[in-house]
Structure 1
Amino acid sequence: MSGLTVRTAAKINLLLGVGAPRADGFHTLVTVYQAVSLYDDLTVALPSTGAGRLTVATHVASYIDASHLPRPGHNIVDRAAAALSDHHGRPVTADVRVDKSIPIAGGLAGGSADGAGALLALDRLHGLGISDDDLILLAAGLGSDVPFALVGGSALGEGHGEIVTPLDDRGTWWWVVVPSEEGLSTPAVYRHYDELRPNAPEVPAPPDGVVGALAGGDVHRLAAALHNDLEQAACDLRPDLARLIVEGVAAGALRGLVSGSGPTCVFLCESGDHARTVAGALTAADDRRVVLVAHGPVAGAHVVADG
């Protein structure tokens, strides 16, 4: 095989329940993921020169600040290749091109998507034939969102989010996605959450409302059920996010939400036309913003070009 391209999708959290900190410092999570139509494409080919080498070149969309990319050799693609190499006991080399349209450091799991895409692409390129179970295990070793990036669709996430169970989803859901130029530290959000919720339960409640809304394909029921335990902490640290949510709802969105630990905000709309209207209003209010329209659920990491 001379080369192939794998497409991977961004994720948003329709619900994020966060338990109290455990003895190991981590929090037990219950989340509902949805993969949405913002994509990174990873194209891999056998190395053009030399042996035993992996190169990674990243090309970003016009709205992404390339200065936020990890430095060479520290990309999750490098870690994915190393994980495959260790698993199979052989070098895993390639020339990798990442065409990135998922905003960076925004709570949309763009890095996790690239890790999932790299695992799949490099396995297929070299004909390694890894089993699905082992692929998921390697993905979990790269990060808690990476297994979902392989699975896609809509899914329940448990543990740290890495235990993924696909959900029945009868709807097509339209979102306005507004990333932020200014980052937000995930550890800082969790620390502030712990301060705000000293009596948080050890294990969050099950996400029955969101699960039922997805199964019923009911957009208004879903809007009412969306929830993020980290939202108050994120908005305390970044009051502009709270103002943006109010603005998006005033523009007509059914509901606004911080996705994950932020700082990206997402807005649920009734249809594609409705989402484009809300996006237009948010852009008109501030044309410096990046405002994207996406739909979900979409597939997880998959091959789109082969040979």
Structure 2
Amino acid sequence: MSHSFAAERVHVRAPGKLNVFFAVGAVQEDGYHDVASAYQAVSLYEDVWAEHSADFTIAISGTVDISGVPADDRNLAVRAARLVAQRIGHTGGVHLEIVKHVPVAGGMGGGSADAAAALVACDALWGADLGSAELHRLAVRLGADVPFALMGGTAVGVGRGDQLSPALAKGRFDWVIVPSDGGLSTPEVYAHLDVLRADPDISRAGQAPAVDPGVLQALRAGDPAALAARTKNDLQAAALSLRPDLRTALELGDASGALAGIVSGSGPTLAFLAGSAESALELQVTLSAAGFEALHVHGPVPGARVMGV
């Protein structure tokens, strides 16, 4: 199928995410877990440029360690580009240039943001005009966090996390992010959670996890203190068991004015909720002075969007 190309080069930006609430159900027969999450897109972004090419190629750089990021067809962004091409019958390829700022294997969905950006970029580059509903359907095929990176804002995700419903969030929430050297494997963290839950002294998860209504009320009210009282991550115990060194930063953040400190997703990135932008800045300075990398971000922010052509 031939298309009249809409542009020669397209730049798309997609956000990383935080799970401000993450409940994990019992392991299912297929080895996966049902989850219930409140996602918030935050102002730490992945940038993707797409331009015409005879084949599917990728170049990766960034301000984070990219040594573990595949630069071939294993990369989720390349898979996303191929899905769009297959969907519209495009017979050429695309060259993707990715500049990463979200920690790799850090529980903030950086790879999923790359994939979402690639979907939007290829749709615009090739003049496909697939529409948001069709792009969402393609995103679901790529992984649980890709649809949210496409949507952005604040949302509730259930099932595998990809059944999304937008959630109203008033105002701005300020976070301090502390990345960590060395990622954590998401499957390994889930498997370790199952091991911990096999202990009879630890309560088992219910079959149908749900987001605490108090989390949604706090988001609607724009109340960081109320959100801090309700935030939780069922994967945190497993992540800290695998990486006990993370406790030092968590304890320092809690002692230095953070309203709450949590492991982001499957970790090892830590996220501290602050009461205001000023409080976040003070916390960032304290953590930095203690030798930790600390980044001040805010949410919610939009999902993957075209920045320029």
TM-score, normalised relative to structure 1: 0.94
* Pairing 1:59–2:61 present: yes
Moved more, 93-102 or 258-267: 93-102
The answer for the alignment partner of 1:132 in structure 2 is 132
AA partner of residue 192 (structure 1): H
**What secondary structure does 2:67 align onto?**
helix
Q: How does 1:150-229 map to 2 (within 5 A)?
A: 150-198=150-198, 199-229=204-234
The answer for the alignment partner of 1:301 in structure 2 is 304
Residues 108-130 of structure 1 deviation map (CA, whole Å, 9 limit, x = unaligned):
10000000000000011001121
Q: Within 2, Cα distance between the matches of 1:84 and 1:155? A: 25
Q: How does 1:1-307 map to 2 (within 5 A)?
A: 1-47=7-53, 51=54, 53-61=55-63, 64-198=64-198, 199-286=204-291, 289-306=292-309
Unmatched segments (≥5 aa) in structure 2: 1-6, 199-203
Contact 1:14 / 1:31 at 8 angstroms: preserved in 2?
yes
Q: Within 2, Cα distance between the matches of 1:201 and 1:176? A: 31
TM-score, normalised relative to structure 2: 0.93
Contact 1:30 / 1:207 at 8 angstroms: preserved in 2?
no
Q: Within 2, Cα distance between the matches of 1:44 and 1:101? A: 18
Contact 1:9 / 1:37 at 8 angstroms: preserved in 2?
yes
Q: Within 1, Cα distance between the matches of 2:113 and 2:195? A: 31
Q: Within 1, Cα distance between the matches of 2:16 and 2:181? A: 17
Identity across matched positions, percent: 44
AA partner of residue 84 (structure 1): V
Contact 2:156 / 2:211 at 8 angstroms: preserved in 1?
no
Contact 2:60 / 2:71 at 8 angstroms: preserved in 1?
no
AA partner of residue 227 (structure 1): K
Q: Within 1, Cα distance between the matches of 2:266 and 2:77? A: 23
Contact 1:230 / 1:260 at 8 angstroms: preserved in 2?
yes
Shift of 1:92: 4.8
Contact 1:92 / 1:126 at 8 angstroms: preserved in 2?
no
**What secondary structure does 2:209 align onto?**
coil
Number of equivalences:
298
Q: Within 2, Cα distance between the matches of 1:127 and 1:75? A: 23
Contact 2:105 / 2:185 at 8 angstroms: preserved in 1?
no
Moved more, 241-250 or 92-101: 92-101
Residues 142-162 of structure 1 deviation map (CA, whole Å, 9 limit, x = unaligned):
110000000000000111111
Shift of 1:56: 1.2
